[in-house]
Amino acid sequence: MTSNVVAPGAILTDEGRPKLTQMAQTNDWGATPEEIELNATQAMAPNDVDRFGRPEEIATAVAYLASSRAD
């Protein structure tokens, strides 16, 4: 029997972008989407790639782990 867990951390969604942009103004995280994401990531969820995860990355991992290939 195989058991898998997905714990993705901070994920940037289309729905979350406006809130992140609003927070950027308050926290002086920059003006461009790239600057905002980098600075927000460092402030809220530091990680090795200096960015938030993407929903499609998590979906791909879950699809693989749910498949027979992950047995």
Residue 34 lies in a domain: yes
Please write the tens of the pLDDT for every residue from 10-44.
999 999 999 999 999 999 999 999 999 999 999 99
Whether residue 44 lies inside any domain: the answer is yes
Q: Please tell me the predicted confidence (pLDDT) of residue 37.
A: 97
Q: Residue 1: is its pLDDT beyond 80?
A: no
- Which residues fall within 8 angstroms of residue 43, CB to CB, at 6 or more apart? 27, 29
Range of the domain at 48: 17-70
The answer to whether residue 35 is domain-embedded is: yes
Residue-wise pLDDT for 37-54, tens only, equals: 999 999 999 999 999 999
In a domain, 5, yes or no: no
**Residue 26 has what pLDDT?**
96
Total domain count, the chain: 1
